[in-house]
Amino acid sequence: MSALSLSDMQSYLSRSISSLNQNKLNGILAEIEFREYLRSIGFADKVSPGGWIIRSKGVGNFGHHTVALFPETITPDASYPAGRTLPDPSTGLHTICSTFHAIGIQSFFCAPEVRREHDSTSVAWKCKHLGLPTDQPFGEFTFAGFNERDRRYNFLRYGTDVSTIPHHAIPGQFTKENLRVSFASIYIAEISDIDGVFWGRQYTYPIEIKEKTAATDSGMGEYFGLDLGPFVKLAYYAAKKGNLHSIFVVKEIENTETRRIRNWWFIRYDQIAQYGSWVPSGGGTSMMGSASTVVKIPKSEFTLLNEDSLNSL
């Protein structure tokens, strides 16, 4: 067999994740719970798997080339031998990637091969270019327009405690991390996660998902804050125009102790741009452990995320 166990995946994550604070863990869980919620209301086939959006770096080349990568999740103890028959991506992912292609973002479905039993560093990725008029074969893990590293960088150098990540979340996190490290080990790039892409009736919507409690501002009342990094990423999608929009999804919780869900909310980026505060404010601790800066958005401008509101997108 060419398989990886759950413990193999946990060991890899402990070396690839630089830190795992509560905020980052909550973000991981929010993505999983969001998909569970969509499944419960009949929209599971309308959202893509998570992935990465990646831009080129280098003087004169920063941001000139962009790709999106969506991986096949690696299942613990399943066999992924070299030369296996690789799976076809879903019709929905093909459609989503057609929208990306139309605005200049090349998109790929990535399928793994495990070259050595229980060796998480032996995963090799094959990529299928999606969104083109004709079906493309799987090819090697190479991407034009990105500057290659002069020498390999050790991304697996940490010793982070990942025991707080629930077992059911490990395969998805390992798959994404392995794909990120595989790319960054070869190319110099700016890499940001894609929590998912929603395929609406009118438009295609990249999604940013966060867990939040509502805060209060004397000038706007209750609000949710969006970190500047994700805000700029959503602005990038907006700048591309075309049929690509984006939405910010909030899992609202009662408090940070029980973390009981109150509601799911969303807001489109054009509404964020219209109603978000022009003056950034200090937020809490970011996923990287540093103090964050947020754009404040009135809670009153968010829409409850349910079957009716999703059907309007």
The domain boundary, picked from 195, 210, 241, lies at 195
pLDDT digits (tens, 9 = 90+) for 156-202: 999 999 999 999 999 999 999 999 999 999 999 999 999 999 999 98
State the residue range of the domain holding 286.
200-311
pLDDT digits (tens, 9 = 90+) for 140-163: 999 999 999 998 889 999 999 999
pLDDT of 29: 93
Long-range contacts of 43-47 (CB under 8 A, 24+ apart): 43/307, 43/310, 45/90, 45/92, 46/92, 46/198, 46/199, 46/200, 46/310, 47/196, 47/197, 47/198, 47/199, 47/207
User: CA-based angle 200:227:66, to the nearest 5?
Assistant: 60
Same-domain pairing of 91 and 154 = yes
- State the total domains in the chain: 2
Same-domain pairing of 95 and 46 = yes
Same-domain pairing of 36 and 144 = yes
Same-domain pairing of 129 and 10 = yes
Same-domain pairing of 17 and 163 = yes
pLDDT of 291: 59
How many whole angstroms separate alpha carbon 30 and alpha carbon 210?
A: 7
Token pair listed for 258: 């029980």
pLDDT of 285: 53
Q: Count CA within 13 A, CB hemisphere, residue 144.
A: 4
pLDDT digits (tens, 9 = 90+) for 9-52: 999 999 999 999 988 899 999 999 999 999 999 999 999 999 99
Reduced to 3 states (helix: H, G, I; strand: E, B; else coil), residue 293 is strand
Residue 170 lies in a domain: yes
How many whole angstroms separate alpha carbon 38 and alpha carbon 43?
A: 5
Same-domain pairing of 127 and 156 = yes
Residue 1 lies in a domain: no
Same-domain pairing of 119 and 257 = no
Same-domain pairing of 132 and 228 = no
Across the strands, what pairs with 304?
265
Q: Say what the pTM is.
A: 0.93
pLDDT of 86: 98
Same-domain pairing of 12 and 48 = yes
The domain boundary, picked from 195, 213, 231, lies at 195
Residue 300 lies in a domain: yes
pLDDT digits (tens, 9 = 90+) for 252-307: 999 988 899 999 999 999 999 999 999 878 765 545 555 578 999 999 999 999 99
CA gyration radius for the chain?
19
CA 26 to chain centre: 14
**Inter-residue contact 228 to 295 (CB < 8 Å):** yes
Residue 288 lies in a domain: yes
Burial (CB count within 10 angstroms: exposed 0-12, middle 13-18, buried 19+), residue 281: middle
Same-domain pairing of 207 and 116 = no
Residue 186 lies in a domain: yes
Same-domain pairing of 45 and 103 = yes
The domain boundary, picked from 195, 217, 251, lies at 195
pLDDT of 3: 97
How many whole angstroms separate alpha carbon 124 and alpha carbon 94?
A: 22
DSSP 28: H
